[in-house]
Amino acid sequence: MSDLSGEFIDGRYELLHRIASGGMASIYSALDTRLDRKVAVKIMHSHLAQDEAFVSRFIREAKAAAVLSHPNIVAVQDQGWNTNGVPAVFIVMELIEGFTLRDFIEERGRFSVKDTLQYLTPVASALAMAHRIGIIHRDIKPENILVSTDGRIKIADFGLAHGALIGSTMTAESSVVLGSVSYLSPEQVQRGISDSRSDVYSTAIVAYELLTGEKPFSGDSPIQIAYMHVNNRVPRVSELRNDIPEKLDDLIYRASSVNPDERPKDAGQFLAELQSITRELDPKRNQMSLELDIPIRVDQKKVKERKKKNVAPKELTVESAREPQLKENTAPVRRRTSKRVRRNRKIALLLAVSLGIAGWYALVGPGARVVVPSIVGATLEEAQSSLTPLGLNTEVAEKRFDEDIAAGKVIDSKPSGGGKIDPGGTVTIVLSKGKERYQLPVLTGLTPEAAFKSIASLPLKTGTVVEEFNSTVPNGFVISSNPGSDVKLKRDTVINLLVSKGIEQAELPIYLGKSGEQALNELTDLGFDVTSTFEFSETVPMGAVITQNPATAQAPKGGVVALVISKGSHNVFIPNLNSIEESKAIAALKDLNLKVVVKKIGKKPLKYVINMVPKFGTKVARGSTVTITVG
């Protein structure tokens, strides 16, 4: 963009000279000819003024800072479009003569504990005020913390701010791209969301850098650094220096936690802990309100040296077109007061009186409305305890699931934090039901149709059906589901079913009339469970299979096959045992399952059979008694 020095903007602001220029806008030192004072004018580059998104962001920055009235925040005084002369979208801001905190870090390295607390306290105080009315800065870093030549701390650049009072024209994704990766909270990088705890995280990283002289993570690219903020824990300051008070070390460690719930809930709580630590370190110090614009000590000799050098180191950011921080190092230009200026001063005085009356009406008079504090992330009881003292009522309008906010905590409110409402009005609240999860009923033993019906009653999806043989679940019924009923499932989880094809069948040989021993061995090798019993048979030879159950071509694999094996005929013929030695005759009869009674005559030690009853050749039933006479 060409240099506009010397131009008049809006018929009021004379551009003296350009201070700095970035990818989005240029900043000029200017003279407000109505009020005869030096100001800073930020003018959007003309080629971007045609882009609604850029213009919206530019105006949103003005609104973000304009609603904040705090001694440690750079004041925005005006915003508009120049219609006479050079077309321009502009913001008029308080002019700060001084340097950024980045300049001092690079010059001094690490700070003492006392100096660190002096720099942090006004920053936390300014953020606490913004958080109270629901505005989040989202880009806290040393480049956005200005130190005037008289030692006053000012937070600048609310271009990424978000809140109900200023709207939300930028997407969460774009805010992550525009922020500085070295100070971005993990939730901004990972999910593109942020709240007051995100500012606390960034402030804690600034504190870490002040105390150690270095950032917690470094890498070859912004993406590497962002990845480390998401996946690594910021180390304790005490690991790099041993003179850190334990409570301060713990506060910075908690405030830089990856988990937002472990951090102080907002800058107000962070400030309160800083104040407590400061009082413990210096009990004799008169503790004034730390929200007062109390300047810190600045080495004026070094200020003069820096003015001569005019050094302005740049901070690596994801956005290469980030505008530089506001600095002004030139001496004031003396001007003779013209008649027009004197006339404009009178007009300005009348306007100031009118604005004062209007402000009284809107802020403390009949037109006053209550500013709703941010209650997102609080429990219902905490929200009521914040709203009731303001004379506001609460009403739960809705309960809905949320993956990030725990059950029972506030997701949203209407009006949201920073919004205004009439005294005695009702703030409607949306409460979280926690993560949306569903319990799948037990599907085992159901038909696929019945299982699908059960799944359809929940916001889940049916997937594939796979069949396999099963020895316990009947054919056509569900064996199991994946996932099972033992876990709670997200919405639209796909449920796959395993369905039984019944018991697997195998070829079954028939062994009727064949060797029982052969049948036993071969059926066992085929995987069947074989049982065998023995019976007499008049038709089947001894040792052969009388019956087989089942006796079909196929049977369930691994099933039981029952065999009945022949013990031979139930009747036997008594053999001719005459003249056979006594012991051998007894053994032969017992082999035929016959009972033996022996009658002995004579005194010979070795006796032989001389008679049998019944006689040999007689047919008798097994188990019958045969009497033999030996002598």
Give yes or no: 250 in active site: no
- 281: helix, strand or coil: helix
Please, are residues 166 and 63 in contact by the beta-carbon 8 Å criterion? yes
Q: Which of these, 525, 417, 485, 352, lies nearest to 164 by C-alpha position?
A: 417
Return the H-helix or E-strand segment holding 351: helix 339-363
For residue 550, cis peptide bond before it (omega within 30 degrees of 0): yes
Q: Which of these, 47, 182, 157, 35, lies nearest to 93 by C-alpha position?
A: 157
**What is the token pair recorded at 180?**
């500085």
State how far the alpha carbon of 370 is from the alpha carbons of 178, 260, 363, 381, in Å.
Answer: 33, 29, 9, 20
The catalytic position among 32, 139, 195, 402 is: 139
Please, are residues 72 and 126 in contact by the beta-carbon 8 Å criterion? yes
Please, are residues 165 and 347 in contact by the beta-carbon 8 Å criterion? no
Our separate counts of H helices and E strands in the chain read 15, 29
Please, are residues 312 and 327 in contact by the beta-carbon 8 Å criterion? yes
- Residue given tokens 């980030």 in the structure block: 322
d(CA 304, CA 12): 32
Please, are residues 242 and 249 in contact by the beta-carbon 8 Å criterion? no
Return the H-helix or E-strand segment holding 232: none
State how far the alpha carbon of 549 is from the alpha carbons of 472, 523, 541, in Å.
Answer: 21, 12, 19
Q: Which of these, 496, 401, 490, 485, lies nearest to 438 by C-alpha position?
A: 490
**What is the token pair recorded at 360?**
């009284």
Alpha helix positions (H), 364-508: 380-387, 448-456
What's the CA angle centered on 611, arms 607 and 614, to 5 degrees? 135
Q: What is the CA radius of gyration of the chain?
A: 48
**What is the token pair recorded at 209?**
């850098």
**What is the token pair recorded at 376?**
């997102």
DSSP letters for 470-521? -SSSPTTSEEEEES-TTSEE-TT-EEEEEEE--SPEEE----TTSBHHHHHH
Please, are residues 200 and 266 in contact by the beta-carbon 8 Å criterion? yes
Residue 565's beta-bridge partner residues? 534, 545
Q: Which of these, 502, 570, 506, lies nearest to 536 by C-alpha position?
A: 570
Residue numbers annotated as active site: 139
